[in-house]
Structure 1
Amino acid sequence: MKMDLEISEPIDFSSGDHQHLVRKAADNNIQTKSGRSYTASPSSGRPKSHGNPHSKASGRSDTYVVQISDEVTPDDSNTVTDPFSETSVRRAFIVKVFLILSAQLIVTGAITSMFLFWKALKVWVLKNPWFTYAILPVFFVVLIVLACCGNVRRRVPANYILLGLFTVLQGLLLGAVSVFYSADEVLWATAATALVTLSLTIFALQTKWDFTLLNGVLFVLLLVLIVYGILLLFIRSYWLHLLYAGLGTVIFSLYLVMDVQLMVGGRHHHSDLDPEEYVFAALNIYVDIINLFLFILQLIELAR
């Protein structure tokens, strides 16, 4: 059986149309041959054709157009490129996040130490509460820009400038809070926070539990914690404050594990960070550590 296929460009072979065309061409060829054998019988009175058995009309009916498209495979349309498909990309992302986070913690620790050990500065902050209230609006504005404006936090050097400004403001606020505690309490809280952070980071890297699934639950618990903290401004109770500090420590410990797993990615359900989101990843872990430190500091003060 012989088929004349005229090929032009382009058609997608993945759609299966070419199989239909080939099958249709084969069927028409069989029908054409059957028709010729019938008309070639002696009773028809027509002379047999000599030469090329294919007439002009049949040749035209046996000609089909098959369009071939290049660079298309059956799996290409359903395949989504993973930005972290290469191990080196993920490793570079993690290293960059930890370097930024380390720089943030060092700057914060240096600023807080000035408020803690510089007596004159400590007394000045206690006598001028407006200092803390003046920092708060700027602090929240920078935080909202970094959290909500994805284009800004991906653009260099704007992302580093904003992150540096946020770190300095956080250090000033943390220093203003630390003047109400003794140096021993702050140092104990710092050591406990470092130990808990290290332990939770190792746990997040080794565990098979996927804490990224708790994102919605933790957000609801955070809202409850905020409302609880507002109520405690008007309620003076040692046990309620102790419960508040304990709940805050647990919630931000879970947040720390979740954010570390988001950064590491891999087998976790929600690991959709972009390689350019290193500032956002460092910001999340940094905020978790600072809040964890504040709640541990409250626990140490209430325990004493």
Structure 2
Amino acid sequence: MSYPSAPPPYDDKNPLYPPQPGGHPQPGAYPGGYPQPAPYPGGYPQPGGYPGGYPQPGGYPHPGVPPMSTVPMNLGDSYGSGGSGEEDGLRASTWDDKSVRHTFIRKVYTIISVQLLVTVGIIAVFTFVKRFPWNLILLSIFTLAMAFMTGAIASWYKTEAVLITMVITAIVAIIVTVFCFQTKVDFTSCTGLFCVLGIVVTVTGIITAIVLSFTYVKWLHMLYAAIGAIVFTLFLAYNTQLVLGNRKNAISPEEYVYGAMEIYMNIVQIFIFLLQIVGRS
């Protein structure tokens, strides 16, 4: 079938559609007979109405709602158990934190610094303050503290051992005092020797504390107690002669509180070391 080269007039093209006066002609159908697509309600295509009729596989989520994750949430190994594992893990993680460790160390050394400052202050008052009655008041506080410490140590031993040690200590103190009154040996002239003895006791005590913290060695404990008892017996003789005042070195007559405190400390130390020997035998 052939088509003319020029469009026919409107009256010849289709008699059912006459030309509109003053307007444009109506467009005809698409070549080949393709229909016009029908409009969708609201101007949006309905699901499934794509050209060719392809269905939506599995459906699509509602616009604006994020998809729900199917991965399970990690609630931890000890969730809901409330056992010691959770507390241990928390404690371990706390100690692993450097700031926590530094804070702990700072608190410990702050307390130690305060204790040392108080001790130094009391010693300074004993040494430099000559006005009554502060010396006696501080001596009373110091005596109560030493008595409390000695009582706490003695509570770990049997009553018989404590009584025997008290008798031995009293006998040693009396013998040393009488000896210092009668002897011509001047212990105050051997200051260097007593410094060495003090160092020996300190080093022996440190070694004993380290060894006994791992395992108990009875002979080492007894050796340390014997060395301590002997050294503080010699210190008692030295301080007694300082109080007597008829030797090379002597203390001032105004330092009677200091002299009493030194002798008292020596006697208490002798008691503590002898208690370790008698209580373990």
Counterpart of 2:270, as a letter, is L
**C-alpha separation in 2, matches of 1:218 and 1:144:** 22
1:161-185: CA deviation from partner (whole Å, max 9, x where unpaired) = 1000000011111111111111111
TM-score (norm 2): 0.55
Q: Is the contact between residue 162 and residue 279 of structure 2 (CA under 8 Å) also seen in structure 1?
A: no
Check 1:290–1:218 CA distance in 2 against 1; reply closer, same or farther (3 A cut): same
Check 1:140–1:247 CA distance in 2 against 1; reply closer, same or farther (3 A cut): farther
Q: Is the contact between residue 158 and residue 279 of structure 2 (CA under 8 Å) also seen in structure 1?
A: no
Aligned counterparts, 1:38-57, within 5 A: none
Q: CA deviation at 1:140?
A: 6.3
Q: Is the contact between residue 161 and residue 275 of structure 2 (CA under 8 Å) also seen in structure 1?
A: yes
Higher relative contact order structure (alpha carbons within 8 Å, sequence separation ≥ 6): 1
Q: Is the contact between residue 189 and residue 296 of structure 1 (CA under 8 Å) also seen in structure 2?
A: yes
Alpha-carbon RMSD across the aligned residues, in angstroms, is 2.2
Q: Is the contact between residue 147 and residue 280 of structure 1 (CA under 8 Å) also seen in structure 2?
A: no
Greater shift after overlay, 249-258 or 227-236?
A: 227-236
Secondary structure at the counterpart of residue 233 of structure 1 = helix
Counterpart of 1:258, as a letter, is Y
Check 1:256–1:238 CA distance in 2 against 1; reply closer, same or farther (3 A cut): same
**C-alpha separation in 1, matches of 2:233 and 2:258:** 18
Check 1:185–1:138 CA distance in 2 against 1; reply closer, same or farther (3 A cut): farther
**C-alpha separation in 2, matches of 1:148 and 1:291:** 22
**C-alpha separation in 2, matches of 1:289 and 1:140:** 23
- 1:253 paired residue among 226, 233, 236: 233
Q: Is the contact between residue 186 and residue 297 of structure 1 (CA under 8 Å) also seen in structure 2?
A: yes
* 2:252 aligned partner: 274
* 1:301 aligned partner: 279
**C-alpha separation in 2, matches of 1:202 and 1:290:** 19
The reply to whether residue 287 of structure 1 matches residue 265 of structure 2 is: yes
Q: Is the contact between residue 263 and residue 281 of structure 1 (CA under 8 Å) also seen in structure 2?
A: yes
Higher Cα radius of gyration = 2
Check 1:165–1:205 CA distance in 2 against 1; reply closer, same or farther (3 A cut): same
Q: Write 1 or 2 for the structure with the bigger share of helix.
A: 1
Secondary structure at the counterpart of residue 256 of structure 1 = helix
The reply to whether residue 185 of structure 1 matches residue 161 of structure 2 is: yes
The reply to whether residue 241 of structure 1 matches residue 241 of structure 2 is: no
Q: CA deviation at 1:243?
A: 1.1
| Same amino acid, percent of matched pairs | 36
Check 1:167–1:184 CA distance in 2 against 1; reply closer, same or farther (3 A cut): same
TM-score (norm 1): 0.51
* 2:186 aligned partner: 210
- 1:201 paired residue among 174, 177, 191: 177
1:96-151: CA deviation from partner (whole Å, max 9, x where unpaired) = xxxxxxxxxxxxxxxxxxxxxxxxxxxxxxxxxxxxxxxx9998666533434422
Structure 1 alignment gaps of length 5 or more:
1-135
Aligned counterparts, 1:1-304, within 5 A: 143-149=119-125, 150-152=127-129, 154-235=130-211, 236-266=216-246, 268-271=247-250, 273-302=251-280, 304=281
Check 1:141–1:251 CA distance in 2 against 1; reply closer, same or farther (3 A cut): farther
Check 1:196–1:244 CA distance in 2 against 1; reply closer, same or farther (3 A cut): same
Secondary structure at the counterpart of residue 234 of structure 1 = helix
Question: Where does structure 1 differ by over 6 angstroms across 4 or more consecutive aligned residues?
Answer: 136-140
